[in-house]
Amino acid sequence: MPTVIRSINGARAAEEEARIADLTRSVVALRHDVEIATSRAAVFEAQCADMRKEREATALNRARAEVDVKVLREEHVRAQQRIEEVRAAHPCGQPQCALIVCLPPLPAPQ
Average pLDDT of 18-31?
A: 94
Name the percent of the chain lying above pLDDT 90.
Answer: 52
What are the backbone angles phi and psi of residue 93, rounded to the nearest 5°? 75, 5
The whole-angstrom separation of Cα 85 and Cα 78 is: 10
Helices (H), the chain: 2-89, 99-102
What amino acid is encoded at 61 in this protein? N
Residue 59, pLDDT above cutoff 70: yes
Average pLDDT of 41-60?
A: 94
Average pLDDT of 66-94?
A: 79
What element of type H or E holds 95? none
Average pLDDT of 36-47?
A: 94
Instruction: Output the CA angle 73-77-78, nearest 5 degrees.
Output: 115
- 11, 3 in Cβ contact below 8 A? no
Does residue 6 or residue 52 have the better pLDDT? Answer: 52
Residue 20, pLDDT above cutoff 80: yes
